Structure 1
């Protein structure tokens, strides 16, 4: 462990110190980014049990309508192509030829996988186990699966650029896992955003989700909106079209996306731009916002509960949080977009610190998000699409939740902690939450 990081004993000392403060029954302490160093963040609660997962009654109409009936079959075809491509990559590396299963360490070594990508190899082995393939695919089977993938891509409305991205990624799995090429080079070919926009905007699934998110934002008639992790602006476009003039703060962790957005939205009134990292102290010199929007970004949070609590502090009383989140680990994602989730080789902090810790997954489940929102102090949680909607096969949902009203100011706790702890162990931030979720046996 790098010298800059507090030890586990340090984290335990901070937790015990916080739990001895008046009004604190439970505390959780974790590390977050603070520039080039790490800092401690703490969540504290009064010890009430986590609220039972619940959400408002689903809407009477289906989110996507009749056109979405193709979604389940198309996604199944795309996932099958990914599984066959994974099997081909492993077999080409000399694995499974003796008919015996291989442990993850053997498979990673056989592929020459970079250490940061070995978790993806474990996901691949799990995908193959669930598919129960009789053997490696023939060239004819693989070619047919690739044709089926492209037909499904067209049926779902993904542009041709996205089709080339899928095909190239699946044919490049050995090179991707060895870090010989990066997924970013495939997704942002030539520095352009057409392919990424195809993934987040220009397809049947994203169009319906972005429209639902835009409707949820506009329904609250906000005057101030914060978008976190706005990226290529795929959801931003639809949200702005749904509203009149509004004070809109477009944020992302990358200056690359901010510069592109300044050019793209130059003629849109009311837009401002700022850097914001969901894994660092989320401090903005701003008045509270009526709505916070986060589309396809919060799964990047190292600790979902801590980030939700930090967002709650950015909302005005009665303000609304609108999320778009993936909740299913599709095989095609494990063979493509998940490469974006591997830690940098020089990363100071690696892995998740919440209920995903020690697991080879990126996404929280639908019920897990409901539970996390309730524990972090949100109420009136609504989720679309409904479980029986064909669009739900995509495993992507729009969550809407309102900031709860009764949360004690954490400043006095932080002040008392500073009196009891050595200066280098004082948390960078303390968040008060309704409950802590630390039971990793919970699944959705």
Structure 2
């Protein structure tokens, strides 16, 4: 397919003024956009959605009532500080920085015997320690020097102090044990000689992950705010039969619990999905007696239609802490928009700032697979990063054909600054002139050989092209 989809073939398609070929996901995809529509009129439901967002924020606040938000930023910084000391200690133990050493990034990766798929994490350590003034880069050489390394006692004390920070943030004791175990096994984890899944899910238990995605103060706030948006949507559609929900990447069901509680006895066709059968089995035990809840495998990277999901078949798509894994955010959002009814709602929960603690733990779950040829091909291409900012997500929604709702919590809220966990939602845009996907497919069929056939075609409002950085050598 790659050698036949040339600029000549893709140029001049009917109604198309901009396009982007996105590879991967089992089948190439083509995003197409027409002429810029200019200023867009306000969404018909804009006021109602803004009111629903306000009530959702109130629900988030109510879920953490009794928790003083003032110390949260300092507690998050304490977790970050422990991670910074862990990064520096692992790097120092290579001995490359001693005696005024100035190792190159490649030498550091080799000394740590880092599996190629995790190399981006160590590169992120280097840039993070530099930003924190604990490492100096040698300009334009890809070398580093003057590492500020902790001694063993300081590092051990920081790991002991994690217990108080985790408790203050609402994490269970198992989360403290997880952070410590990840720090202790970090060299082996980077080498793929052991798996973070074994640390996060010891003996198949999900308590630690639930503590992260359900019980912590930031997650509790976001889950209840998102749940309130779905409850408002159910009220808005009360005379249209059951609320048809697809929860993508539902994992341990931390958000599901809050959503089903908020929906109460509302009739639902709730499809709980994940890429792993492990989570489906656990969900069936937790929610199996709830009427209207079904379970299925679903991969956000692959064609939804090939996974049994029909266009326009969902009223709501809920995606909590999963869409950052999409290798191309624009294609994924276009896929999800096409699954939604004409005025459907997408509700996301996403971390919109980087937590250093994740760089020594959870990020290992986000590395490309051992057999994955590429990684992110959207605006994150070549940047060694996973998470988008709230502003980037809002622009992605707008480009994909959604009218974005207000991001929650608002910027001035203590949790927005401390945790960066945000609820980001968008309603399928009813207006706007996009290229006709059928006409585009027909034109491609005339230009391409019968096999392997044309790519998937997604009509969007705007193409966001990646800008590959040309920064310092690695």
Map residues 332-343 of structure 1 onto 2, 5 A cutoff.
Answer: 332-343=357-368
Deviation at 1:305, TM superposition (A): 0.5
Q: Is the 8 A contact 1:217 1:291 kept in 2?
A: yes
Say if 2:375 is the partner of 1:351: yes
Q: Is the 8 A contact 1:157 1:203 kept in 2?
A: yes
Taking the aligned partners of 1:92 and 1:428, their CA distance within structure 2 comes to 49
- Residue in 2 aligned with 1:206? 219
Match of 2:387 among 354, 363, 386: 363
Say if 2:5 is the partner of 1:25: no
Taking the aligned partners of 1:27 and 1:51, their CA distance within structure 2 comes to 21
Q: Is the 8 A contact 1:375 1:436 kept in 2?
A: yes
- Residue in 1 aligned with 2:185? 172
Taking the aligned partners of 2:459 and 2:223, their CA distance within structure 1 comes to 31
| Unaligned 5+ runs, structure 2 | 135-146, 238-242, 470-474
Q: Is the 8 A contact 1:40 1:426 kept in 2?
A: no
Change beyond 3 A, Cα 1:337–1:10 = farther
Map residues 22-61 of structure 1 onto 2, 5 A cutoff.
Answer: 22-34=14-26, 39-48=27-36, 59=54
Change beyond 3 A, Cα 1:380–1:327 = closer
Match of 1:329 among 351, 354, 357: 354
Taking the aligned partners of 1:150 and 1:23, their CA distance within structure 2 comes to 58
Map residues 4-19 of structure 1 onto 2, 5 A cutoff.
Answer: 6-7=1-2, 9-11=3-5, 13=6, 15-19=7-11
Say if 2:417 is the partner of 1:387: no
Taking the aligned partners of 1:67 and 1:409, their CA distance within structure 2 comes to 52
Taking the aligned partners of 1:441 and 1:48, their CA distance within structure 2 comes to 24
Q: Is the 8 A contact 1:50 1:435 kept in 2?
A: no
Taking the aligned partners of 1:368 and 1:285, their CA distance within structure 2 comes to 27
RMSD in angstroms over aligned alpha carbons? 2.3
Q: Secondary structure at the match of 1:146?
A: helix
Q: Secondary structure at the match of 1:423?
A: coil
Q: Deviations over 1:129-156 (max 9, x none)?
A: 1222362101221122113322110101
Q: Is the 8 A contact 1:10 1:425 kept in 2?
A: no
Q: Kindly tell me the number of residue pairs found equivalent between the two proteins.
A: 428
Q: Is the 8 A contact 2:309 2:339 kept in 1?
A: no
Q: Deviations over 1:301-345 (max 9, x none)?
A: 010001101100111111111000111121111111111111222
- Residue in 1 aligned with 2:81? 80
Match of 2:230 among 190, 205, 217: 217
Q: Is the 8 A contact 2:333 2:397 kept in 1?
A: yes
- Residue in 1 aligned with 2:252? 232
Deviation at 1:101, TM superposition (A): 3.8
Moved more, 78-87 or 380-389: 380-389
Change beyond 3 A, Cα 1:50–1:186 = farther
- Residue in 1 aligned with 2:154? 141
Q: Is the 8 A contact 2:222 2:422 kept in 1?
A: yes
Q: Is the 8 A contact 1:94 1:110 kept in 2?
A: no
| Unaligned 5+ runs, structure 1 | 1-5
Deviation at 1:215, TM superposition (A): 0.4
